[in-house]
């Protein structure tokens, strides 16, 4: 084929497979083309009562923001998703295809037409949950200072339970969605944090002895906008020790006027002791191989973690990497005794504002004797726009946001034959 013919073939192929060409044959409309994209990727958060700042439930909602939607989807600012899909896919993945992005652009360019409203119009119903068995609120309302500063606070929420509970579902409900940014729940049975209720989360405020306390769970649940509760099927649940305190590590967005919040934790409880308790596997700074965990100013540093040999076959449910503002990228994989590589998660552009829990599509078997590896890059230079200090300062381990962390958190159950085909989320669909 000549160069001219080849060039013509490429041009023809481009137009045939371009959404703009396809839609030039018929008008792009909201009801036929745009709404299905939004229902799949956006409306779960962008609905009344959820965390997104505005609703996209009606044509009028969407048409009013058509150009804005085009901009945030073309730049891939929305929907927020940071795990590399070529490394591994996840159940809660929300990524627009290039064709979907071009479809939105074509719709806006064509005047954001409404189209014919279907007779059986019905927004995809939100997932509904049964009434919670136990609601644990913050002890008292908290009011932000309204001075334009982010607030990272520790709240102690006593469960006041008289016996161990078996929890099949956890939900976190912010009291003020305008300021709630993200939250991490931990479990403490020592009660030593009770005097720190409402304290700023920083090494200079919390008593340093408390940082060495052995918590019952360093990660019990995480919430960011878009994280929804999971109800496990019968026989699978988490444990909440008797009279334990739930520690709420809460991040509030900056405001210029005082705002008040009183968030709460909703628990779904089963009376039967779980045959397969949900457990937590955490790698933290203590497992870093190139110690010390110290990030000098004006340097980009990579740290490596290596787990001990996995003592038994595990079935991984989800994964949550955790860093702070200096974090740049994160990657984790496992190597089995046979030398097989299991990709776990890869985030090329770390975003502290979206601390997501990534749910595996299916349970991931981690064979006995496997080793989990992780590598994280930290940028403590002026090239990092999220660096909290100019000029940069040294950083090391700490709960405070201006300190740093390197955590890799998995939830899992002990492996049983057939787990690879078990749908842990079927129970939720049947509700």
| 134 and 261 belong to one structural domain | yes
> Residue 165: helix, strand or coil by DSSP?
strand
Q: Is the confidence at residue 14, as pLDDT, over 80? A: no
Q: H-helix or E-strand containing 409?
A: strand 407-414
Of 175-184, 215-224, 242-251, 418-427, highest mean pLDDT = 242-251
pLDDT grade for 219, boundaries at 50, 70 and 90: confident
- What proportion of the chain, given as a percentage, has pLDDT over 70? 87
Which of 223, 250, 275 finishes a domain?
A: 275
Looking at residue 122, what is its pLDDT?
Answer: 59
Q: Which two tokens stand for residue 195?
A: 């005097």
* Cβ atoms of residues 318 and 357 within 8 Å: yes
Report the CATH number at residue 361: 2.60.120.230
CA distance 253 to 150: 5
* Cβ atoms of residues 177 and 51 within 8 Å: yes
Which of 53, 74, 109 finishes a domain?
A: 109
Report the CATH number at residue 189: 2.60.120
Looking at residue 13, what is its pLDDT?
Answer: 47
Q: Is residue 392 part of a domain?
A: yes
pLDDT grade for 203, boundaries at 50, 70 and 90: low
Those residues whose C-beta lies under 8 Å from the C-beta of residue 151, and which sit 6 or more positions away, are 144, 145, 200, 250, 251, 252, 254
Name the average pLDDT for the chain: 86
> Which residue did the predictor score with more confidence, 18 or 194?
194
pLDDT grade for 80, boundaries at 50, 70 and 90: confident
| 337 and 414 belong to one structural domain | yes
| 355 and 226 belong to one structural domain | no
* Cβ atoms of residues 31 and 116 within 8 Å: yes
| 350 and 423 belong to one structural domain | yes
Burial class from Cβ neighbours inside 10 Å (0-12, 13-18, 19+) for residue 403 reads middle
- The number of distinct structural domains making up the chain is 3
- pLDDT (average), residues 181-186: 88
Q: Is residue 115 part of a domain?
A: no
- pLDDT (average), residues 43-64: 84
| 289 and 249 belong to one structural domain | no
| 333 and 428 belong to one structural domain | yes
| 270 and 146 belong to one structural domain | yes
User: Measuring CA to CA, how many Å separate 35 from each of 62, 73, 93, 100, 173?
Assistant: 9, 14, 18, 11, 27
pLDDT grade for 205, boundaries at 50, 70 and 90: low
Q: Is residue 119 part of a domain?
A: no
Q: Is residue 118 part of a domain?
A: no
Which of 48, 78, 109 finishes a domain?
A: 109
Q: Is residue 65 part of a domain?
A: yes
Tens digit of pLDDT for each residue in 349-382? 999 888 888 999 899 999 999 999 999 999 999 9
Q: Is the confidence at residue 149, as pLDDT, over 80? A: yes
| 225 and 331 belong to one structural domain | no
| 165 and 286 belong to one structural domain | no
| 205 and 336 belong to one structural domain | no
Q: Is residue 224 part of a domain?
A: yes
| 166 and 248 belong to one structural domain | yes
Looking at residue 257, what is its pLDDT?
Answer: 94
Looking at residue 88, what is its pLDDT?
Answer: 96
Can you give the residue range of the structural domain that contains 101? 3-109
pLDDT grade for 426, boundaries at 50, 70 and 90: low
Q: Is residue 417 part of a domain?
A: yes
Looking at residue 331, what is its pLDDT?
Answer: 98
pLDDT grade for 211, boundaries at 50, 70 and 90: low
Q: Is residue 387 part of a domain?
A: yes
| 98 and 195 belong to one structural domain | no
Q: Locate tokens 């497992």: which residue? A: 287
């Amino acid at each position: 084929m000549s160069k001219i013919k080849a060039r013509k073939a490429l041009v023809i192929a481009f137009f045939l497979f371009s959404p703009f060409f396809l839609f030039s044959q018929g008008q792009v409309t909201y009801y036929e083309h745009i709404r299905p994209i939004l229902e799949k990727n956006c409306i779960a958060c962008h609905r009344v009562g959820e965390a997104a700042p505005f609703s996209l439930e009606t044509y009028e909602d969407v048409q009013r923001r058509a150009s804005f939607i085009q901009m945030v989807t073309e730049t891939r600012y929305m929907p927020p998703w940071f795990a590399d899909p070529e490394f591994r896919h996840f159940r809660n993945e929300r990524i627009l295809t290039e064709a979907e992005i071009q479809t939105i652009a074509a719709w806006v360019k064509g005047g954001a037409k409404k189209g014919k409203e279907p007779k059986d119009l019905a927004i995809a119903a939100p997932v509904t949950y049964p009434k919670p068995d136990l609601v644990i609120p913050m002890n008292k309302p908290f009011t932000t200072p309204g001075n334009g500063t982010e607030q990272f606070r520790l709240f102690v929420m006593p469960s006041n339970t008289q016996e161990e509970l078996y929890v099949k579902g956890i939900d976190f409900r912010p009291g003020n969605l305008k300021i709630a940014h993200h939250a991490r729940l931990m479990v403490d049975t020592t009660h030593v944090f009770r005097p720190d209720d409402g304290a700023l989360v920083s090494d200079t405020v919390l008593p340093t002895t408390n940082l060495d306390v052995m918590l019952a769970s360093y990660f019990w649940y995480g919430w960011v906008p878009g994280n929804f509760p999971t109800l496990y099927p019968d026989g699978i649940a988490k444990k909440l020790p008797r009279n334990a305190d739930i520690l709420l590590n809460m991040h509030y967005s900056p405001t210029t006027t005082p705002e008040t919040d009183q968030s709460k934790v909703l628990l779904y409880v089963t009376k039967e002791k779980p045959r397969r308790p949900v457990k937590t596997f955490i790698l933290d700074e203590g497992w870093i191989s190139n110690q010390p965990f110290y990030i000098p100013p004006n340097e980009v540093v990579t740290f490596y973690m290596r787990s001990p040999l996995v003592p038994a076959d595990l079935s991984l449910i989800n994964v949550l990497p955790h860093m702070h503002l200096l974090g740049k990228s994160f990657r984790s994989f496992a190597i089995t005794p046979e030398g097989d590589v299991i990709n776990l998660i890869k985030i090329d552009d770390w975003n502290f504002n979206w601390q997501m829990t990534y749910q595996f599509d299916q349970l991931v078997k981690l064979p006995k004797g496997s080793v989990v590896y992780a590598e994280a890059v930290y940028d403590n230079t002026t090239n990092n726009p999220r660096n909290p200090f100019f000029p940069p300062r040294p950083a090391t381990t700490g709960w405070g946001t201006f300190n740093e962390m390197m955590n890799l958190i998995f939830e899992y159950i002990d492996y049983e034959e057939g787990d690879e085909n078990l749908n842990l989320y079927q129970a939720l669909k049947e509700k």
